[in-house]
Structure 1
Amino acid sequence: MKSLFDETCIGTIHLRNRLIRSATWEAMADESGRLTPRLIEVYRELADGGVGLIITSATTITSDATRVPGMLSIPDDTFVPVYNELVQTVHDAGAPIVMQLVFPGRNGAFWTPSDPSREDIHSIVKGFGEAAVRAQRAGFDGVEIHAAHGYFLSQFLNDKRNTRTDEYGGTVENRVRFLLEIACEIRARTGANYPLLVKINCSDFEEEDGVWDACQLACRQLAEDGISAIEVSGGISQMPFPPHGMPYEESVFRDYAAEISRITGVPAILVGLNRTPSVLTGLLNTAGIGYFSLSRPFLRQPDLAGYWRNNPDRPAECLSCDACRKQPDGNVCPFRE
């Protein structure tokens, strides 16, 4: 029987358990998107707490990319040394770390698929590749492409939101093209053995959005191209979470993640209200889902992995109340003891 505390590998990344800290906006970077000592301490605490893998908060790839306050960035080589300090801190505490890469838009605007020209798209693809190389040079164990939650890249998968009439819109094959080109660019620049993950929406949960079809096609192609793992999420930031009509109170995207695992053979990471070890263990042994990522529970309990090892019958203490996002000094849980 498989356990949440099996030692496994995602590509060349060795994990001490199957629990992953999913990308979480901390709102603690400085105005230029650089790491701060406080933010490094957040990651050190997570690593000390026993998590199997840390995925950083979304990190913008270019200097003109739109950012929200406190958001990380890696736009040029001057950012590499301090990220190397972060990586060393996390590694010294026994955890691997992956950088999540994102492009929300440019010059303060949050883009939709209709905004970029073909030349813009080609430039963004190149930007992802260059940022991945910087992350690799900084020592990160891999990178993750953020194509979820209704942000810019995610919208290309949505048949209603992607209104382009060129090779990046229309058919499902066209709607996945941008994501596949980014993955190909990163692979070409970092090498075939450097772990590459993707976070992708199974659905935006809008009527006839076409995202599930695009998700399946993209994941099949990414698997053929050697993707290391697929983190399956869903919904968009402007809507309630979990999406209305979900059949489960916990681990809400489980059926989608199980299907992605089945059709690709690639390790599937399930995110979305993972709260109870017994539920996760059951999915691990029956649904083909290999890993479970969590966000808000790690804000309340950075040592959640160690806690669950010693208390396998206890759910996470997180109330999913979102009070963490309303604090004046960063994305922190006000109920931490």
Structure 2
Amino acid sequence: MKSLFDNVKIGNMISKNRFVRSATWENMTEDGYINDKILNIYEDLAKGEVGLILTGYANIVKEEQPNPGMFGIYDDSFIPGYKKLCDLVHQYGSKIVLQVAYGGTKTTYNLGERTIFAPSPIPEKGTGTLGKEMTVEDIKYIIEAFGQSARRAKESGFDGIEIHGAHTYLINQFLSPYYNRRTDSYGGSLENRMRFLIELYESMRNKVGKDYPILIKLTATDFFEGGLSFEETKIICKKMEEIGIDAIELSGNIHGKGESLVGTFFNGFEIKSEGYFSEFAKEISTLVKIPIITVGGIKTFQATIDLLNSSNISMFAISRPLLAEPNLIKRWKNGDLKKVKCIRCSKCRNKDGNYCIIP
């Protein structure tokens, strides 16, 4: 029988258990640099026995910041602060991975003050934001920026780096036939639509070497007709394993709508009440040998152990329950399985930062 407290190997990184703090935007830095508030948050998570901590997303170029309060990784000046963060987390035996992203049109932040890249001039369905169709020179610029972010992550002491390729961010849009209407080598067939992602991965890998863990977060399906389908995602996941990605976190493009979609079927798979995308992750876990991480709606120990023992899923990512109880994994480990404090009210997003407001 498998245990949620088994070690898990991702490349050459070993997590002490199967629990992941999914990337959570803290919104607690005005300039992108690490501060004491952020250090305290991550220290509490590490003390709370989270095996693998994924950071809130970091922007890879200075001019592209899809939300306020994000981490930065666009120049070397961020490295000293991240070294302090990594050293702190490692004191408690947890691993920490930097998530990097280009948000693109999945934003309404500072729209008039910057150029936002997109594969094609198609408004994002949720925000209505329209981006500038990227030239090949623009594409090469962003690919190099992702590569430099990986170099900086390794120099900072992070145990790995995660590419955010989900949630209608730029990479997801290149993969999606709805958002990617290009007629050059970066559009059209799925092979062409994957080219941007493959090239930025190669840029990262070339700068960190073959042994440094690189993870990717992908969307299972775009959840609308004409978008990226799960059949295509299965092909993408197999390709990611082939090129050297060390683990895949499978998510979806249904921000804030998970509970309202429970019981709904997409591409033949059901949105579950716990582990919204776990049925998709189960399928992917039968197709690849690298670790699969499922994320979305997980909040009870029993549901998590049931998922573990009914699938090949390796790890389980949690966000909001850990905002409410950063010590949740530790109390589960100690046998305290009482109901979690989190009630999924989504009131944890506040102007002065993202944190649980339940007393």
TM-score, L = length of structure 1: 0.94
Counterpart in the other structure of 1:290: 314
Aligned with 2:257 (options 240, 264, 273): 240
Question: Is the CA contact 1:235–1:241 (under 8 Å) kept in the aligned structure 2?
Answer: no
C-alpha separation in 1, matches of 2:4 and 2:114: 41
Tell me which amino acid in the other structure corresponds to 1:19.
F
1:216 corresponds to: 234
Q: For residue 145 of structure 1, what is the aligned residue in structure 2?
A: 163
Query: Which stretch shifts more, 304-313 or 247-256?
Result: 304-313
Q: Report the counterpart of residue 52 of structure 1 in structure 2.
A: 51
Q: Which amino acid is 2:226 matched to?
A: E
Is the 8 Å Cα contact of residues 258 and 276 (structure 2) preserved in structure 1? no
Alignment of 1:100 onto 2:99: yes
Task: Please state how far the C-alpha of 1:110 moved relative to its aligned partner.
Answer: 4.4
1:51-90 matches, cutoff 5 A: 51-90=50-89
Deviation of the 1:109 alpha carbon? 4.7
**Are 1:269 and 2:293 an aligned pair?**
yes
- Is 1:26 equivalent to 2:26 in the alignment? yes
Cross-structure match for 2:16:
16
| 2:185 corresponds to which of 160, 167, 171 | 167
1:328 aligned onto 2:351: yes
Matched-pair contact (CA < 8 Å) for 2:214–2:246: yes
Point out the more displaced range, 50-59 or 10-19: 10-19
Q: CA deviation at 1:317?
A: 2.5
Partner of residue 7, structure 2: 7
| Alpha-carbon shift at residue 10 of structure 1 (Å) | 1.4
Aligned residues of 1:204 and 1:235 also touching (Cα < 8 A): yes
Answer whether contact 2:167 2:253 (CA < 8 A) is retained: yes
Counterpart residue number, 2:341: 317
Cα pair 1:200 1:233 within 8 Å, conserved: yes
Cα pair 1:8 1:15 within 8 Å, conserved: yes
What is the CA–CA distance in structure 1 between the aligned matches of 2:76 and 2:87, rounded to whole Å? 18
> Aligned partners of 2:344, 2:300: CA distance in 1, in Å?
13
Gap runs ≥5 in structure 2: 105-110, 121-132, 265-269
CA distance in 2, matches of 1:329, 1:212: 37
1:185 alignment counterpart: 203
Q: Distance in 1 between matches of 2:271 and 2:94?
A: 34
Query: Aligned with 1:221: secondary structure?
Result: helix
Could you give the per-residue CA deviations for residues 167-193 of structure 1, whole angstroms, max 9, x where no partner exists? 112211112211111111111110110
Instruction: Give the aligned length.
Output: 333
Distance 2:341 2:188 in 1: 44
Amino acid of the residue matched to residue 20 of structure 2?
I
Are the counterparts in 1 of residues 33 and 71 from structure 2 also a CA contact under 8 Å?
yes
Q: Counterpart in 2 of 1:199?
A: 217
Identity of aligned residues (%): 40
Among residues 81, 106, 119, which one is paired with 1:113 in the alignment?
119
2 CA distance for matches of 1:9 and 1:249? 28
Does the aligned pair in 1 maintain the 2:271–2:279 contact within 8 Å? no
For residues 249-294 of structure 1, the C-alpha deviation after alignment (integer angstroms, 9 at most, x for no partner) is 1112111111111111110000011112122112212210010001
Structure 1, gaps ≥5 residues long = none
Q: After TM superposition, where is structure 1 displaced by more than 2 Å over at least 4 residues in a row?
A: 105-112, 239-244, 310-317
Aligned AA for 2:10? I
Query: Which letter maps to 2:299?
Result: R
Aligned partner letter, 2:325: Q
Q: Which amino acid aligns with 2:353?
A: G
> Taking structure 1 as reference, are residues 104 and 247 closer, same or farther at Cα in structure 2, changes over 3 Å only?
closer
Helix, strand or coil for the counterpart of 2:175?
A: coil
Once the 2 structures are TM-superposed, how far is the Cα of residue 49 of structure 1 from its aligned partner? 0.7
Distance 1:224 1:153 in 2: 18
Q: How far off is 1:137 after superposition?
A: 0.2
Alpha-carbon shift at residue 316 of structure 1 (Å): 3.0
Aligned to 2:129: none
CA-to-partner distance for each residue in 1:34-85, whole Å, 9 max, x for gaps? 1121111111111111100100001011222223110111111111111101
256-265 or 310-319: bigger deviation: 310-319
Name the amino acid aligned to 2:54.
I
